[in-house]
Amino acid sequence: MIHGGAVLRSMRPKQWTKNLLVVAAPLAAGDLGDPDVLGPTVLAFLSFCAVSSGTYLVNDCADREADRLHPRKRTRPIAAGELGVRAALVVAVLLFAVGLALAALTDPGFVVLLVSYVVLTLSYSLWLKHEPVIDLALVAAGFLMRAVAGGLAASIPISDWFLMVAGFGSLFIVAGKRYSEKHTLGSEAGTRRSLTGYTDSYLRFVWSIAAAVTVTAYCLWAFENAPPTGIPWHTLSILPFVVGLLRYAVDVDAGQAAEPEDIVWGDRVLQGIGVVWVVVLTLGVLGV
């Protein structure tokens, strides 16, 4: 018998926050309020929620032995024995089917992206997560795919600067996640092979480069989209964007960014900065 509560917890609904990245491209283009764009964007969000939850189930099945040695992950239903492997895999297949069915209602390009995401994530979970650098690239690619998903689903052109911001911003988050995981586990970091190939200085190097490129690309995107007259809201949005990134970096440096969604839900100051950034950016894309 499948326990509904255990299934829901294994689907990690708190991590669906990451899937809100699908609104990034429509918002940046100023088309999110268009019904022909909003509908496919919502479907893209729901599709990612379904398939990402499916990949979490597969990942937890593959990692159940290692998770039992982790101070926090050992409470996950599969590692704790609350949900059987066979039942978890059945639910995962159903979630993949639901996600792809929803994606089929949008642009074919988004279907291809979603299938690629599933293949990439399963490859990561089953084989590639223990390869240094490759694991950083694959997790960052998952964030990047979310960021471009809304644009693909609604057939919106995506700028090169936007892709750079999304790509290197994702790498910044992932490098910070690995750094925090090393500090969370401490002497037990050796139980997670994905961490043994990194030093603190290397991860600092990666997130420093990623942060620098992210800020530079965002500035260039903002300058390119700022109107020749009126209030330059795009340009003004640089300030809360940079302050928000620096605030997140405080959590990374303190070793508290192992789960990025926890920072989003728990850091009230970061939430306030995010609201200011969204408001200023929205004023810009609306041409106020």
The Cα 18–Cα 55 span in angstroms is 14
The answer on 153 and 58 residing in a single domain is yes
Is the pTM value of this prediction over 0.75?
Answer: yes
The Cα 149–Cα 270 span in angstroms is 25
What pLDDT was estimated at residue 191? Answer: 52
The answer on 229 and 144 residing in a single domain is no
Whether residue 262 has pLDDT greater than 80: no
Q: Which two tokens stand for residue 78?
A: 């599969």
The answer on 97 and 60 residing in a single domain is yes
The answer on 164 and 151 residing in a single domain is no
Please give the residue range of the domain that contains residue 209.
Answer: 159-288
The answer on 111 and 40 residing in a single domain is yes
Give the DSSP letter string of 133-183: THHHHHHHHHHHHHHHHHHHHTT----HHHHHHHHHHHHHHHHHHHHHHHH
The answer on 173 and 82 residing in a single domain is no
Of 5-9, 50-54, 139-143, 263-267, the range with the lowest mean pLDDT is 263-267
Where residue 245 falls among pLDDT bands split at 50, 70, 90? very high
Domain end among 158, 189, 212: 158
The residues, ordered by sequence, that sit 6+ positions from 53 with a Cβ below 8 Å of its Cβ are 10, 11, 12, 13, 16, 92, 95
The answer on 167 and 90 residing in a single domain is no
Asked if 143 and 18 count as a contact pair (C-beta separation under 8 A), the reply is yes
Q: Which two tokens stand for residue 153?
A: 């689903």
Domain end among 141, 158, 175: 158
What pLDDT was estimated at residue 186? Answer: 58
The answer on 139 and 14 residing in a single domain is yes
Domain end among 132, 158, 184: 158
Q: Count of domains in the chain? A: 2
The residues, ordered by sequence, that sit 6+ positions from 241 with a Cβ below 8 Å of its Cβ are 215, 218, 277
Average pLDDT of every residue of the chain: 88
